[in-house]
Structure 1
Amino acid sequence: MNRDFFIILFALSNLIVASVLIRYSEVGPITSFGYRLLLPCIFLYSFLAITKDEEKLSKKSLYIAALTGFFLALDLAFYSISLIYTSIAEASLLTNLCPFITTFIAIIFLKEKVSLKYYFVLLLAFLGLLLLMSQAGLSSRHLLGNWLAIVSAVFYALFIILSKQLRNSCSTFRMMFIASLSGSIVLFILAFIFNEQIIPTTARSIAILLAIALFGHLLGNILYISRIKHISLAMSSLVLLVGPVFALLYGYVLFRETFSIQQLVGMFIIILSVYLGKKVLENSKVYTNR
């Protein structure tokens, strides 16, 4: 189980790498996300063909897999659009609410049982997130962008929940091939509507898009989804909070961005809350689904 936990941490670190690379993409952000989902389909299809995976999905599973990709596409699209109307800091703060939304849905609607101590861990994690994003603030002038960022978090939560449900009935590669293909179609349609540049024109731009697909999807989302079958939804959503910690660390290493004492305390609290959450769920036998 510890192996699954650390693989998820590795996947989250790769997602942040992909977010950094998008800064250098020649094409628009929605288009970049579209390639992030489309390019791995070549690998996924090749793997399924080579291994002669003849697993047949029911129509219901097929539709759910396509819907999963639709939700992921909307998450990425709404986040991109929110940046037009709000600051990156505010959008990041609000999209990082995803773990709390996922946990809420898991407890209220999916009846996943957690102890009272876990609610304390969630409260502690939320405090850490507020300190970590202390420089963001929320401006009433950015109301539309902030709501779009919240909608993005809701769609990512739905993506995680549906992916976890599907992992109980089909392989990661088959599910993610369908989800990635459907999601990329949605994103390219939106990129066309928003009049973004779609075709890369330089070798450097193509290399960046390949790197975004590798880190953001193959070693990011797909690796993450492959492991959440073995970990409870409560734990797999709580560990997402490590994402903004990686983001700040990468910002410091790559762009010499500094952070305050408050943010350092926030980092410590988030890491502590993830550790405590893991222990609480292990003791209450909710950590794994095996």
Structure 2
Amino acid sequence: MTGFIFGAIIISFSSVMVKLANVPPDVAGFYRLFVGGLGMLAILWKMGKLKNLTRHVWVWSLLSALFFTADFYCWHRAIIATGPGISTMLANFQVFVLAAVSIVFLKEKVSLKFLIAMPTAMLGLYLMVGVSWDAFTPEFKLGVVYGLLTALAYALYLLSLKYSLSKADADPLAMACAVALITGVCLGGLSIAQGESFIIPDNQSLAALGALALICHAGGWYLITRGIQVVRTSLVGLILLLQPTLSYVWDILFFNKPTTAVELIGVGLALTAIYVGSLKSEETT
């Protein structure tokens, strides 16, 4: 369990590193996913599992990689526009997309937990960004939209990844490695299409991108992938809440994010709702 908790703490720094990298969002995504994917490749090699990266795994990784590309395209823009805290909170609304898919397409019954969590999440969202909406800049408002689109793209990524893993009967780490490398190539292609430079401007950017790729992505997700197999299901959602919670704390500590009592109440309600929603998601998987 210690490794799983440590992994959640590590990935909470991801949005901070994107902010500190000071490069275009898709360039940050390229370095994070492609270099992070190479880091996962090194882990597979160290474990003697390179053979698990079969052609079958690469083919089944394509759909997940497309949704993962959309996820990072939106999330990195949300981070730059709204900051690490709000953007990560919004991205974790993916649990409600997953629950909605279960209800609408898998014909599962609406549980009491979901009926409680959904309006609680909407109230939390309103208190976080709705109360002061008119005072926000157009850039911040667009960042909120990107954050909610991140939640949608991330949910679709998780659904496609679960489906691909079941069809390919693959090693989860091998699949994560293939998805990361393909997503990195896609984000790199988007950067080239937009005429963005891949030059790393200074040592701060180099350190931030290195930490983002090798520590946050490769290391963090390796610990989570390994730890999720031994942690009780009832604790998974609670422990993973460390990511949005700590990202919000880092935003305040490192970037002097201004906060109000109303916003903090909204954050608390959203976190509570996300946890309850994650319990619903775990019960239906």
C-alpha distance 83-245 of structure 1, shift in aligned 2 (>3 A): closer
Aligned AA (1:120)? I
Instruction: Assess, with a 3 A threshold, how the Cα gap between structure 1 residues 82 and 209 changes in structure 2: closer, same or farther.
Output: closer
Pair 1:175–1:111, CA change in 2 (3 A): farther
- 1:47-58 equivalent positions in 2, closer than 5 A: 47-53=43-49, 54-55=51-52, 57=54
SS at match of 1:185: helix
CA deviations over 1:106-132 (Å, ceiling 9, x no partner) = 332245556233321232233223323
Question: What residue in structure 2 maps to residue 249 of structure 1?
Answer: 249
Structure 1 unaligned runs (5+)? none
Evaluate the alpha carbon distance shift between residue 26 and residue 94 of structure 1 in structure 2; reply closer, same or farther with a 3 A threshold.
closer
Q: How does 1:126-165 map to 2 (within 5 A)?
A: 126-134=122-130, 137=133, 149-165=147-163
Residues 1:99 and 1:18: Cα distance change in structure 2 (over 3 Å): same
What CA distance in whole angstroms lies between the structure 1 residues aligned with 2:153 and 2:275? 26
Contact 1:78-1:152 at 8 Å conserved across structures: yes
2-side partners of 1:244 and 1:11: how far apart? 13
Query: Who is 1:73 aligned against?
Result: 69
1:49 is aligned with what amino acid? W
Query: What percentage of residue pairs aligned between the two structures are identical?
Result: 23
Conserved 8 A contact 1:78-1:151: yes
Q: Structure 2, unaligned stretches of length 5 or more?
A: none
Q: TM-score, normalised to structure 2's length?
A: 0.75
Instruction: Return 225-234 or 115-124, whichever deviates more.
Output: 225-234
Name the count of aligned residue pairs.
278
Secondary structure at 1:52 match in 2: coil
For 1:187, give the aligned amino acid: L
Describe the shift of the 1:223–1:134 C-alpha distance in structure 2 as closer, same or farther (beyond 3 A).
Answer: farther
What SS does the corresponding residue of 2:133 show, helix, strand or coil? coil
Q: 1:277 to 1:77 in 2, by over 3 A?
A: closer
Distance 1:145 1:275 in 2: 23
Distance 2:189 2:275 in 1: 41
What's the offset of the Cα at 1:36?
A: 0.4
- Opposite residue 214 of structure 2, the aligned amino acid is L
2:260 aligned residue = 260
What corresponds to 1:101 in structure 2?
Answer: 97
Q: Tell me what 1:125 maps to.
A: 121
The 1-side partners of 2:183 and 2:20 are apart by 22
Q: Which residue type is aligned with residue 258 of structure 1? A: P
TM-score (norm 1): 0.74
Q: Which moved more, 1:144-153 or 1:33-42?
A: 144-153
Distance verdict in 2 for CA 1:37–1:30, change over 3 Å: same
The one of 12, 16, 19 equivalent to 2:15 is 19
Q: Provide Cα deviations, 1:215-274, integer angstroms capped at 9, x if missing partner.
A: 441244554555667899999789876654333211222233232111222233234435
Q: 1:258 to 1:30 in 2, by over 3 A?
A: same
SS, match of residue 133 in structure 1: helix
Question: Which residue of structure 2 lines up, in the alignment, with residue 88 of structure 1?
Answer: 82
